[in-house]
Amino acid sequence: MRILLVEDEVKLAHAMKRALELQKYAVDVANNGKDGLDFAIGEEFSLIILDVMLPEVDGIEICKRIRAANIHTPVMMLTARGQISDKVTGLDVGADDYMVKPFSFEELFARIRALVRRPAQTNDPVLHIKDLTLDPKTFTVKRNNELIELSSKEFSLLEYLLRNKNTVLTKEQIIAHVWNYDSDVLPSTIEVHVKHLRDKIDVKGENSLVHTIRGRGYTIRE
Ligand code: CA
């Protein structure tokens, strides 16, 4: 899952990025409103975290413009204590949730999980295919009840494939969702990660769960 964080307090942005990366999200940070808006319009994210008070273009305006551009990515607003009217305005312009600073990262993560969860998965956040399960809350992957250790990128890749089970995903889509903008990702990098993922999750002698669709991309299916 890829998150855009628009926050001008550099220290806070840095701490949030690190914390989110430990939760296996790929994070892009914009330190001003203009860059944030460019990112939000030009790239694909699973979630946008928007500070309200920002230089150049404020969070309210960014949210308005994102929605005007027909982008429906969930938006979480960050607002300073006491800026009650900001909250109301944020929700009015299409934000999905807000948090008042200072907030605990635990609560932030819980709210993020709630926002990026798709409606069909509300009752069962554990993703699965055959006897493979992935629990986004505990970061655990099991095959036939045996725990499998995955790197953070392998985990994100598997999660993205599972959330789009039976759908062919192009390498570009995978890069956009699993890696952040700063990382130099070549299509061959995806191939390497898919190979590692297969080595870890597949059962010897059985067909791989991850199918290569020549010239198109990858899909996970039974
Ligand atoms: Ca700010």
Contacts of 62 (CB under 8 A, 6+ apart): 6, 33, 36, 37, 40, 50, 54
What pLDDT sits at residue 182? 63
**Distance from the CA of 113 to the center of ligand 1, in angstroms?**
23
- CATH classification at residue 81: 3.40.50.2300
Same domain, 107 and 134: no
Same domain, 52 and 71: yes
Same domain, 115 and 133: no
Same domain, 44 and 145: no
**Distance from the CA of 52 to the center of ligand 1, in angstroms?**
6
Same domain, 110 and 23: yes
Q: Which of 93, 120, 147 is the last residue of a domain?
A: 120
What pLDDT sits at residue 80? 82
- CATH classification at residue 202: 1.10.10.10
pLDDT tens profile 116-173: 875 544 445 789 999 999 998 788 999 999 999 999 889 999 999 999 999 999 998 8
Same domain, 116 and 23: yes
Same domain, 106 and 6: yes
Same domain, 74 and 140: no
**Distance from the CA of 21 to the center of ligand 1, in angstroms?**
21
Same domain, 70 and 23: yes
pTM of this structure: 0.63
Residue numbers of the domain that contains 54: 2-120
Nearest by Cα to 4 from 121, 176, 137, 170 = 176
Contacts of 191 (CB under 8 A, 6+ apart): none
Residue 222 exposure: Cα atoms within 13 Å on the Cβ side: 5
pLDDT tens profile 22-48: 888 999 999 999 999 999 999 989 999
**Distance from the CA of 203 to the center of ligand 1, in angstroms?**
49
Q: How far apart are CA 141 and CA 105, in angstroms?
A: 23
